[in-house]
Structures are given as structure tokens and as C-alpha cells.
């Protein structure tokens, strides 16, 4: 009996080792095929965590480490949504409160917190909208090293929004949710996320980048932005500047391992009482997909790829691309973090996107 048990443990260890080696090969092959600077991948199946890294933190050639924190752009919205639903669980009326009441601002009296959460408030995008690229470049040239939340929220509330709008993804919605969280908790968003989400979930690497915080270990790289600023490699100042500009809509940094674990919490079936639900857009669709293929959740989406349904959120920023991808059938959660913007997060089956790698990993686990 003991010998058989030991043999079983050895088989499990050998299987885990083979999977880890397969993952490393997959990641190295994918990086070579797409020529990205650095990439960190983690796969969590509820029992064990496999990680693989390839490439460099920056142009100086320092190798990526599995514990390195990356900027995750819009994947940050999963944490903002979780904080809102956590607060709502303690105050049942919050989701249907007017935004003006919930945020303490003289804005959004005809909008609800729920409409921000599900992108149906009709508020235009502030990045590239109220905050134009020219304004950003001028501020950078003047020496700006970070953005304050008050300024970001001012940009996000520059337009009034429209009640009962169709789904329209906008960073403005989540920037305003950041102010709701601050008003409801009485502390700044970084501390609120840490207390409400990061600590309870055991995400020790996660934090919101602010004017006084650390910056990601894997600094960004953007050939497009480099053509404007003269150099594609980010330094600490530019990394902080861009992350703080994202605020509640895109300002979190985290390691791939912690993000994979988080995916299994936030994107799993609603057995934890967190209030997560996925709803078809009332009209049209989302991200170029018709409403038959995509449902909208709180800081997440459920998307049909072929015959399978997956839950996810992608992040596409300057010098950062990220994806958290969850398979409800196998309960495998995958996090893919990249410190450049050469490859984008979601192609919905098309080659050359981060979700292509996620699907390759899932397929290899099913064999």
C-alpha cells in the first residue's frame, strides 16, 4: 500500500514536471514567433501553479523572473469591479444608487453605479478623448511623473453620460467607480483595493501604481510611443505616469502567478457570493462580436470561441499587454503578461494575440 502510494506521488510529480516543461517550451516558442520583449505566464488548476517566463525586463537584457510584477492595463478592472461588489454586499442598495450619491460628486444623478459597472452609462472614453494624446505628450514634456486621481476623474466626468445606454466599453466608467470606492471607504483607492481585495485574496504582489508607489519590475517597451518620445524603452517615470493615468481603469501591477489565482476566484462560477453575473448586451455586441458570442460581467466577459465558452479580460496599454483567461469546464486559469505592446490581448481565434497562446495551453492540458 505504501509503495503504491509513493508510486502515485512520483507519477503526479512527473506529470507536473512534464507540464511545466511543456509550458516553458510553449512560451519560448510563442515569444520567438511573435518577437515580444518579455513574457510571463502562469497556469493555475486549483491545486498547483505552473509558471514560465521568456525574454527580458527591459532593453538592458535582465531576464524576466516568475515573481516579476507587470502593468496589466484594463485587466485592473477586475479588481475595481470586485471592490464595488464587495461594498455592495455590505450595503445592498449601492449598485442602484445614483452615481452622484455613491461618489459624493455633483455628477451622474441620472446614472447608477450598476450602469458604470456594466458599461451602459454612455460616458465617452477619457483616454484619447477629454485627455488627448497631445495633452498627454505636452504634460510629459513638462516633466509630469504621475497623475492624481482627482485629475483623472475630472477627465472621466467631462461628458455627462446617457442613462440606459447600450453597452459601450469606456475607461471613464471605471475611473468614476474608483471615486465611488474612495467615497464609500473613506480611504484612497490603493489602500481600499489592498484591504478589500488584495489581502483577502492573498495577492501579495498586487498593488495600484500611484505617485509614491513602486513601479512594475518588467518595464514597458513601446515602439509606437518611442517614435514620438525618441526612445521605446520606459523608465520608472514613464511607467508610473502611464499606470497612474489608468487609475481604477488600468493602474494595477501584479505577477502572473497571482493573476492566475485571481482568475480562478473572480471568473469562476458564482459560488462565493461575490455577485458576479454575465448578461447579454441588450443591443448589438461587444468588441466586434455579436451579442450571441459575448456576455458582459462585472469587470469581465464570457466569450464563445468555437464550441467552448471562456471567461476573460484583456488589457492593451502602451508598453503593456495582459490577459486573464478562465475555462469553466476544466477550471484552469491562465495569466499572460507582456511588457510591450507589439502583440495585443484578444483576437477571438485569430493568430498573433495573447488568447491564441491561452488556447494552445488549454489544448495541451486536455491531451
Q: 276-297 as b/e, with b when 16 or more CB fall inside 10 Å?
A: bebebbeeebbeebebebbbbb
End-to-end Cα spacing for the chain:
29
Q: In the prediction, which pLDDT does 289 show?
A: 86
Q: In the prediction, which pLDDT does 93 show?
A: 65
Q: In the prediction, which pLDDT does 275 show?
A: 56
Q: In the prediction, which pLDDT does 287 show?
A: 83
| Owner of C-alpha cell 459560488 | 271
What single DSSP character describes residue 196? I
Alpha helices in the chain (DSSP H): 2-34, 77-90, 99-103, 113-117, 133-141, 149-156, 171-185, 189-193, 199-201, 223-229, 236-250, 256-266, 354-366
Q: In the prediction, which pLDDT does 90 show?
A: 80
Q: In the prediction, which pLDDT does 280 show?
A: 81
Q: How far apart are alpha carbons 240 and 69 in whole angstroms?
A: 13
Q: In the prediction, which pLDDT does 274 show?
A: 53
| Owner of C-alpha cell 458576479 | 276
Q: Starting at the edge strand that comes first in sequence, how are the strands of the sheet with 252-254 ordered?
A: 70-71, 252-254, 207-208
Mean pLDDT in runs of 10 for the chain (367 residues)? 44 49 92 96 97 95 96 98 92 87 97 95 95 94 95 97 92 98 97 97 97 94 93 96 97 98 89 64 78 90 94 96 97 97 94 96 90
Amino acid at each position: 500500500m505504501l509503495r503504491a502510494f509513493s508510486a502515485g506521488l512520483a507519477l503526479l510529480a512527473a506529470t507536473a514536471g512534464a507540464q511545466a516543461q511543456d509550458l516553458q517550451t510553449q512560451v519560448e516558442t510563442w515569444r520567438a514567433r511573435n518577437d515580444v520583449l518579455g513574457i510571463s505566464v502562469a497556469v493555475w488548476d486549483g491545486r498547483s501553479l505552473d509558471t514560465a517566463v521568456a525574454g527580458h525586463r527591459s532593453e538592458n537584457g535582465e531576464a524576466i523572473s516568475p515573481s516579476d510584477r507587470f502593468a496589466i492595463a484594463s485587466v485592473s478592472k477586475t479588481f475595481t469591479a470586485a471592490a464595488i461588489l464587495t461594498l455592495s454586499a455590505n450595503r445592498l442598495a449601492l449598485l442602484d444608487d445614483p452615481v452622484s450619491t455613491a461618489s459624493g460628486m455633483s455628477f451622474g444623478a441620472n446614472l447608477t453605479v450598476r450602469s458604470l459597472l456594466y458599461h451602459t452609462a454612455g460616458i465617452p472614453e477619457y483616454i484619447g478623448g477629454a485627455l488627448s494624446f497631445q495633452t498627454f505628450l505636452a504634460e510629459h514634456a513638462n516633466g509630469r511623473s504621475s497623475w492624481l486621481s482627482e485629475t483623472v476623474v475630472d477627465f472621466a466626468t467631462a461628458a455627462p453620460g446617457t442613462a440606459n445606454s447600450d453597452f459601450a466599453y469606456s475607461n471613464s466608467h471605471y475611473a468614476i467607480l474608483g471615486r465611488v470606492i474612495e467615497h464609500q471607504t473613506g480611504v484612497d483607492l490603493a489602500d481600499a483595493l489592498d484591504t478589500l481585495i488584495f489581502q483577502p485574496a492573498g495577492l501579495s504582489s498586487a498593488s495600484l501604481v500611484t505617485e509614491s508607489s513602486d513601479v512594475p519590475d518588467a518595464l514597458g517597451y513601446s515602439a509606437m510611443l518611442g517614435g514620438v518620445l525618441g526612445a521605446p524603452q520606459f523608465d520608472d517615470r514613464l511607467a508610473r505616469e502611464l499606470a497612474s493615468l489608468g487609475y481604477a481603469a488600468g493602474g494595477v501591477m501584479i505577477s502572473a502567478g497571482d493573476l492566475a489565482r485571481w482568475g480562478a476566484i473572480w471568473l469562476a462560477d458564482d459560488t462565493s457570493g461575490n455577485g458576479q453575473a454575465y448578461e447579454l448586451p441588450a443591443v448589438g455586441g461587444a468588441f466586434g462580436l455579436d451579442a450571441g458570442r459575448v456576455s458582459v460581467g462585472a469587470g469581465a466577459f464570457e466569450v464563445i470561441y468555437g464550441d467552448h465558452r471562456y471567461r476573460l479580460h484583456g488589457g492593451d496599454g502602451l508598453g503593456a499587454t495582459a490577459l486573464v483567461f478562465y475555462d469553466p469546464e476544466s477550471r484552469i486559469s491562465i495569466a499572460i503578461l507582456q511588457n510591450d505592446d507589439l502583440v495585443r490581448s484578444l483576437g477571438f481565434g485569430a493568430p498573433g494575440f495573447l488568447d491564441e497562446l491561452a488556447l494552445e495551453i488549454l489544448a495541451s492540458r486536455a491531451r
